[in-house]
Amino acid sequence: MPSVKRDFGVVPQATRPGPQCDDCEIREISVCRSMSPPDLARLQAIISTTHVAAGQPITHEGEPAESLFNVVSGAVKLYKLLPDGRRQITGFLFPGDFLGIALNDTYVYTAEALTPVRLCRFPRRRLEALLREIPNLEHELLNEVATELVAAQDQMLLLGRKTARERVASFLLMLDRGTKRTNRPPNILDLPMSRGDIADYLGLTTETVSRTFTQLRKAGVIALTHRGEVEILDRAGLEAESEGG
């Protein structure tokens, strides 16, 4: 297999105008879901499509937020850093997820592509103008952000109160719920992120994540397939593990 993956995004942020919302594969699972045809046309007028190569940044914490994005394909990680380099990943994004919540027009986290990523880009100023004209769009965004907030609160419970084993089990179940939207074989999870990324998401270390995977494997709850995938062998068992059952 030659370097197809790499070529996919050799020009980070390379932008093409003129995508067609009608053909969009994430239309039904994204914020554009309930737009009327005329509203959708206005939205389509301001968007463009962007490719970002694996490992490349998309937004940078602290920089002015000039664009918002919808993830069309690929996977993205969001993180915050402490001055000494400690890192907390606040979320992973998959197709249909919205990216670019900002405060005072400044990105509050860094977003980085885990795989080659295709994005639908909204210039912030123009999107904000549209928000005023299309209340329905603002409504969808409110739903989106509220859902993210609920997820963030679940993550606080995980980070503040769960054991390493419960965290890893919860993580796998969360990933599984997330990929329900795609057409993958059930119970097989692709992990586009490294052990280190998982550790920084769960408030653990690479070693502890690795050891915990091993424990869950030996307990017969999951299996680790050749190419970095995880198979859920015992969903009920995993669910019990995730809350201290």
Residues contributing to the site for DNA (CB under 7 A): 1, 3, 6, 163-165, 194-196, 203-211, 213-214, 224, 226-228
Number of CB atoms found within 10 A of residue 46's CB: 14
Using CB under 8 A, pick the residue from 29, 54, 65, 108 that binds its own copies. 108
Q: Which among 9, 30, 139, 156 is positioned nearest to 93, based on CA atoms? A: 30
Using CB under 8 A, pick the residue from 37, 38, 160, 185 that binds its own copies. 160
Binding piece for its own copies, criterion CB under 8 A, among 36-44, 81-89, 179-187, 226-234: 81-89
Binding piece for its own copies, criterion CB under 8 A, among 13-21, 35-43, 137-145, 220-228: 137-145
Calculate ∠ Cα 141-144-145, nearest 5°.
90
Strands (E), the chain: 14-17, 48-52, 57-59, 67-73, 76-81, 87-93, 98-99, 102-103, 106-107, 110-113, 117-123, 188-190, 222-224, 229-232
How large is the angle between the packed helices 235-242 and 164-179, nearest 10 degrees?
A: 130
Least Cβ distance, residue 157 to its own copies (angstroms): 4
Report phi then psi at 181, rounded to 5.
-70, -20
- Residue closer to its own copies by CB (options 33, 217) is 33
The CA-to-CA distance between both ends of the chain, in Å, stands at 44
The answer to whether 241 contacts its own copies (rule: CB under 8 A) is: no
* AA letter at 234: D
138 binds, among its own copies, DNA, none (CB under 5 to 8 A by kind): its own copies
State the Cα–Cα distance between residues 132 and 109, nearest whole angstrom. 26
**29-68 mask for its own copies (x: CB under 8 A)?**
----------------------------------------
The answer to whether 164 contacts its own copies (rule: CB under 8 A) is: no
Q: Does residue 60 contact residue 107 with C-beta atoms inside 8 Å? A: yes
64 binds, among DNA, its own copies, none (CB under 5 to 8 A by kind): none
208 binds, among DNA, its own copies, none (CB under 5 to 8 A by kind): DNA
In the range 186-205, which residues lie near its own copies by CB under 8 A?
Answer: 200-203
- Containing 115, the helix (H) or strand (E) segment is none
The answer to whether 226 contacts its own copies (rule: CB under 8 A) is: no
Q: Which residues contact 2 (CB under 8 A, 6 or more apart)?
A: none
Q: Which residues bind its own copies (CB under 8 A)?
A: 80, 82-84, 86-88, 90, 101-103, 108-109, 131-132, 135, 138-139, 141-142, 145-150, 152-157, 159-162, 200-203, 243-245
